[in-house]
């Protein structure tokens, strides 16, 4: 009941302090009592992975009398309620966001025995900048470790049961795109549509493989000169075959704290063409395993696609340290070392 009331209140406030860009939002202000059902007396460290949908409050987490690790998988700790930067918002919503963000940061800065992890240096720098902005009492900032998402290097996927594979011409240049409909602003599908419109009019590229949990709602009819092979939602253990079938993966996101799609593509030796912004650029070696286009330049994206169409390059991957085999040695033992916590 408390969670329901909290959700109801948050949705009401989001209607009042609204924004044109639809991005996940959470307040996590009301104590729901969820922690009362979890036994924490026998543990040394509590690791929290995500705040979302009012299930638990930030206060409840910060009041845990244990050493605390919080992982930032998105940018919720860099905003008042938004899980990613929302772009331009009206003055009333901005005031609301500023108030909640200041309150959030000051609560964090008052807490000892807390460590944060982030999936990229980009997200780390944004978090540090946010904490410094509201650190009016010059408190010591908490330790922040970078832990990239783990990447699976064992590729045993088989797609032989799908007849659609037989229809894809092997000798043609094929682009891979992902579409899930949600988070339109963050995933920048507006830029994807601009890119496809330009390609549709110029006939530079023709074949596109598309996947995602909402790909059946993709506006295929807008691009009548292009041929799409729609695979819809694909299980993670089968996804590799799509990367292997493709010559290049196109990512138009405005913001990615890591980008599992980028990592999966690179592991499968499919270069990634993306904008030179946010966390995914840390996975891409320009003109080696991908192409970093000028920020939000459609022409430069096309230049990147052409780059891999016209050149055969020695493939370079820098993702080995993200493998499961080395994950604990590279990351986790450094985080959970008790010397990292304040006493």
pLDDT of residue 328: 83
- Alpha carbon 259 to its chain centroid, in Å, reads 5
E strand or H helix at 249, and its extent?
Answer: strand 248-251
- CB atoms closer than 10 angstroms to residue 18: 15
pLDDT at residue 341, as a whole number: 84
272, β-bridge pairs: 249, 290
Spatial distance between the Cα atoms of 98 and 330, rounded to a whole number of angstroms: 36
- What the block records as the tokens of 33 is 């009592």
Q: What local confidence, expressed as pLDDT, does residue 163 receive?
A: 56
Within 13 Å of residue 251, how many CA atoms lie on the same side as its CB?
A: 33
Task: Supply the pLDDT for residue 343.
Answer: 57
Task: Please state, in angstroms and as integers, the Cα–Cα distance from residue 206 to each residue in 69, 81, 189, 215, 273, following that order.
Answer: 47, 41, 19, 18, 17
88 Cβ contact partners less than 8 Å away, ≥ 6 residues apart:
none
User: What pLDDT was estimated at residue 165?
Assistant: 64
Length of the chain measured in residues: 343
Percent helix, strand, coil in the chain, to 5, is 40, 15, 45
Q: Is 186 exposed, middle or buried (0-12, 13-18, 19+ CB in 10 A)?
A: buried
Whether 140 and 173 have beta carbons less than 8 Å apart is answered as no
**pLDDT at site 83:** 95
Q: What pLDDT is stored for residue 207 in this prediction?
A: 94
pLDDT value of position 190: 94
| Among candidate residues 242, 244, 234, 249, the one with its CA nearest the CA of residue 175 | 249
Rounded-to-integer distance, Cα 78 and Cα 327, Å: 26
How many C-beta atoms lie closer than 10 Å to residue 40's C-beta? Answer: 11
CB burial of 299-338 (b: ≥16 within 10 Å; e: otherwise) equals: ebbbebbbbbeeeeeeeebebeebeeeebeeebeeebbee
Q: Round to whole Å and give the CA distance between 201 and 196.
A: 9
- On the 0-12 / 13-18 / 19+ scale of CB atoms within 10 A, 217 is exposed
> Terminal CA-to-CA distance of the chain, rounded, Å?
37
Query: Residue 309 belongs to what H/E stretch?
Result: helix 298-310
Q: pLDDT tens string for the chain (343 positions)? A: 999 999 999 999 999 999 988 899 999 999 999 888 888 988 999 999 988 889 999 999 999 999 999 999 999 999 999 999 999 999 999 999 999 999 999 999 999 889 999 999 999 999 999 999 999 999 999 999 999 998 888 766 555 445 566 677 788 899 999 998 777 899 999 999 999 999 999 878 999 999 998 898 999 999 999 999 998 988 877 788 889 889 999 999 999 999 999 999 999 999 999 999 999 999 999 999 999 999 999 999 999 999 998 876 667 777 888 888 888 888 888 898 888 887 5
pTM as predicted: 0.91
């Amino acid at each position: 009941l408390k969670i329901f009331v909290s959700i109801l209140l948050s949705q009401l406030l989001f209607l009042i302090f609204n924004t044109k860009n639809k991005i996940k939002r959470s307040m996590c202000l009301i104590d729901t009592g969820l922690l009362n059902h979890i036994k924490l007396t026998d543990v040394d460290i509590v690791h929290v992975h995500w705040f979302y949908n009012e299930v638990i409050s930030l206060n409840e987490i910060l009041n845990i009398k244990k050493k605390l690790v919080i992982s930032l998988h998105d940018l919720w700790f860099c905003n008042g309620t938004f899980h990613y930067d929302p772009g331009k918002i009206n003055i009333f919503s901005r005031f609301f966001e500023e108030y909640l963000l200041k309150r959030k940061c000051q609560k964090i800065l008052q807490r000892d025995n807390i460590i944060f992890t982030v999936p990229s240096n980009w997200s780390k720098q944004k978090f540090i900048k946010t904490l410094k902005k509201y650190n009016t009492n010059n408190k010591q900032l908490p330790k922040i470790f970078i832990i990239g998402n783990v990447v699976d290097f064992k590729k045993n996927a088989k797609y032989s049961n799908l007849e659609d594979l037989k229809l894809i011409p092997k000798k043609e240049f094929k682009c891979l795109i992902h579409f899930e409909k949600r988070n339109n602003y963050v995933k920048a599908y507006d830029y994807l549509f601009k890119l496809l419109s330009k390609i549709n009019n110029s006939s530079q590229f023709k074949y596109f493989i598309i996947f995602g949990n909402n790909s059946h709602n993709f506006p295929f009819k807008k691009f009548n000169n292009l041929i799409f092979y729609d695979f819809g939602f694909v299980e993670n253990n089968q996804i590799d075959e799509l990367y292997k079938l493709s010559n290049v993966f196109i990512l138009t996101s405005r913001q990615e704290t890591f980008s599992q799609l980028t990592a999966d593509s690179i592991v499968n030796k499919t270069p990634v063409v993306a904008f030179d912004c946010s966390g995914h650029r840390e996975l891409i070696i320009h003109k080696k395993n991908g192409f970093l286009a000028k920020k939000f330049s459609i022409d430069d994206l096309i230049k990147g696609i052409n780059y891999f169409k016209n050149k055969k390059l020695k493939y370079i991957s820098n993702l080995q340290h993200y493998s499961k085999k080395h994950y604990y040695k590279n990351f986790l033992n450094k985080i959970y070392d008790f010397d990292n916590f304040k006493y």
